[in-house]
């Protein structure tokens, strides 16, 4: 089964907009109520928190389910940094033969594989016959719960 992304939605951070949300610094126990309002100390900007370098960071919405075992589901938003170096084991946005895909990079001597995180999808070996580039490394995952 070939993992083709029919359409991707790219987004870029909007630096300097000054939109912040309250940031609660207390740890939240899973199971008991916490008076979180008492611990509200500052505000947080998700652009500033998730984007180490706003000039090289973009957001992209996932289409498909080839990465579900990595916790990446259809409709999730990935934060991607183009300034980071691709490396073995990193999850990357790649452009291969004109199609975008998100996969885990696997490198071996002289060879690169794009590894899905779903057993229903095959690994893709990148060869000299492919037009291939890594657009960026995934740094954060934003999902609806």
The residues annotated as belonging to the active site are 66, 103
Dist. CA 19–CA 73, nearest whole Å: 27
Half-sphere exposure (Cβ direction) of 124: Cα atoms closer than 13 Å: 26
Is-contact 81 139, C-beta < 8 A? yes
Task: Judge contact between 105 and 58, C-beta under 8 A.
Answer: no
Can you give 96-112 as a three-state secondary structure string? ECCEEEEEEEEEECCEE
**Which residues have CB under 8 Å from 36's CB, separation 6+?**
24, 26, 28
Distance, CA of 47 to CA of 94 (rounded, Å): 23
Q: Which residues pair with 23 in a beta bridge?
A: 42
């Amino acid at each position: 089964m070939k993992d083709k992304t029919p359409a991707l939605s790219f987004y870029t951070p909007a630096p300097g907009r000054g939109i912040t949300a309250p940031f609660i610094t207390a740890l939240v126990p899973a199971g008991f109520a916490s008076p979180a309002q008492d611990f509200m100390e500052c505000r947080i900007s998700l652009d500033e928190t998730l984007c180490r370098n706003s000039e090289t960071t973009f957001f992209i919405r996932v289409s498909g389910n080839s990465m579900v075992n990595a916790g990446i589901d259809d409709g999730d938003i990935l934060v991607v940094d183009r300034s980071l170096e691709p490396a073995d084991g990193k999850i990357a946005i790649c452009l291969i033969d004109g199609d975008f895909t998100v996969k885990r990079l696997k490198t071996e001597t002289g060879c690169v594989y794009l590894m899905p995180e779903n057993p229903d999808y095959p690994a893709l070996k990148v060869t000299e016959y492919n037009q291939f580039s890594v657009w960026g490394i995934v740094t954060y995952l934003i999902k609806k719960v």
